[in-house]
Amino acid sequence: MSGQLKEVRDRIQSIKNTQQITSAMKMVSASKLRRAQQAIVDLRPYSDRLNKILKNVITNLEGDTSVKLGIERPVEKAAVVVITSNRGLCGAFNTNIIKEAVRVIEEELGEVRAAGNLSLIFVGKKGFDYFKKRYTDCTLNKEHIALFNDLHFDNVAVLAQELIEKFEDGTYDKVYVSYGKFKNAALQFSQNVQYLPIEKVKKKIDPDQPKKKEYTADYIFEPNKKDLLQELIPSILRTNMHKFMLDTQASEHGARMTAMDNATENAEELVKQLKISYNKARQEAITKELSEIVGGAAALEG
């Protein structure tokens, strides 16, 4: 019985030690989350507005050869950028992003993969660790895998510029980005977006409404259209890529904080249950010893 009690005591102490670690990780993630959340909250309205302008420009200049990054062409070669964290212990966060990347590969780019023309570009180790074992028929690019350690705009712009150049020279016909979108500390969800070519504004058609005459926006470009678009479009695409990175970073810290909070609460509940078991076993041992003493005394009196 004493051996059993020692085993329960050791287990209680082990869980308490783990609880201290999960509690500390929760506080660290909460501290990092505040900074990461502020960064994405500040950038998102600016990025979303620029992206809306970009789509409107591409839509209204459809057919203009000066807008190369908006030209749709047959998809023979493609790339998927998978943005995950470098570390785990954040629940299903990385798994959900990987699932979204797998979905677009299987549903949208199955023929490209079968032809051996699919490239997977990784930011963060978790995505690479998954795909390197299962997608050996794809080109796996881990050149930017350490980018998640330092998400300064200039560093992210290098990856964005590389994708732009490879789309323009025909290395890729389509580029997707799979990342984690941040909503709040308790809610993050995986998302996949078409990065290149730039998607046009989708006009909703209501069959019950009479067809209206469509008007094309007449943009005035200053100094001139060609020079302006050559600077404006890549700049917006670099900002979008930075937003994807910051979204994923904030999502990671939120997911880890939530996971560590749940782990700390579960450890507390487990310790309570083990203490009850320990007290029951201890009471049984005391009762057994008392019974033996009383039985021995009765035998001596007899």
**Cβ(112)–Cβ(139) under 8 Å?**
no
Let me know: does 230 contact 45? Beta carbons within 8 Å. no
| Span 11-22, average pLDDT | 91
Mean pLDDT of 117-146: 94
Average the pLDDT over 150-164 and give the result.
93
Determine which of 5-19, 61-75, 216-230 has the lowest per-residue pLDDT on average: 216-230
Q: Predicted confidence band at 50 (pLDDT cuts at 50, 70, 90)? A: confident
Task: Report the pLDDT value the prediction gives residue 233, as an integer from 0 to 100.
Answer: 87
Cβ atoms of residues 135 and 121 within 8 Å: no
Tokens at residue 279, please?
A: 């007290």
257: which 2 tokens?
Answer: 């904080």
pLDDT digits (tens, 9 = 90+) for 229-255: 788 889 999 999 999 999 999 999 999
If one compares 6 and 20, the residue with the highest pLDDT of the two is 20
pLDDT for residue 216:
55
Could you list the beta-strand ranges (E) of 124-282.
Answer: 139-141, 174-184, 187-196
pLDDT for 101:
95
Residue type, 17: N
State the sign of the Cα–Cα–Cα–Cα dihedral 75, 76, 77, 79.
Answer: positive
Of residues 117 and 50, more confidently modeled: 117
> pLDDT tens across 95-112, in order?
999 999 999 999 999 999
3-state secondary structure of 8: helix
Q: Compute the mean pLDDT over every residue in the chain, rounded to the nearest whole number.
A: 86
Please determine, for residue 14, whether its predicted confidence score (pLDDT) is greater than 80.
Answer: yes
Point out the catalytic residue in the list 79, 90, 101, 109. Answer: 90
Residue 251's pLDDT is: 93
Residue type, position 202, single letter: K
Could you give the domains of the chain?
20-202+218-260 (3.40.1380.10)
Give mean pLDDT, residues 56-73.
Answer: 72
Q: Please tell me the distance from the alpha carbon of residue 58 to that of residue 127, in angstroms, as a whole number.
A: 32
Closest CA to 140 of 113, 107, 110, 170: 113
Q: Looking at per-residue confidence, does 206 or 60 come out higher?
A: 60
**Calpha distance 271→278 (Å, rounded):** 10
Residue 46 CA to residue 177 CA, distance in Å, equals: 19
Position 181 confidence tier, pLDDT thresholds 50, 70, 90? very high
Neighbours of 175 (CB within 10 A): 22
Question: Does the pTM exceed 0.85?
Answer: no
| Per-residue pLDDT reduced to its tens digit, 278-287 | 888 788 777 8
The whole-angstrom separation of Cα 127 and Cα 86 is 9
The tokens for 113 are: 């993969």
Q: What three-state secondary structure class fits 247?
A: helix
- What average pLDDT does this structure show over 142-165? 92
Confidence at 54, pLDDT banded by 50, 70, 90: confident
The whole-angstrom separation of Cα 88 and Cα 214 is: 51
Distance CA 106, CA 112 (A): 10
> At how many degrees (to 10) do helices 93-107 and 125-134 cross?
50
Tens-digit pLDDT profile for residues 74-87: 999 999 999 999 98
pLDDT, position 277: 83
Comparing 220 with 234, the larger pLDDT belongs to 234
Which of 241 and 55 is assigned the larger pLDDT? 241
| Alpha-carbon span 138 to 119, nearest angstrom | 6
Active site residue 90: yes
Cα(82)–Cα(122) distance, integer angstroms: 5
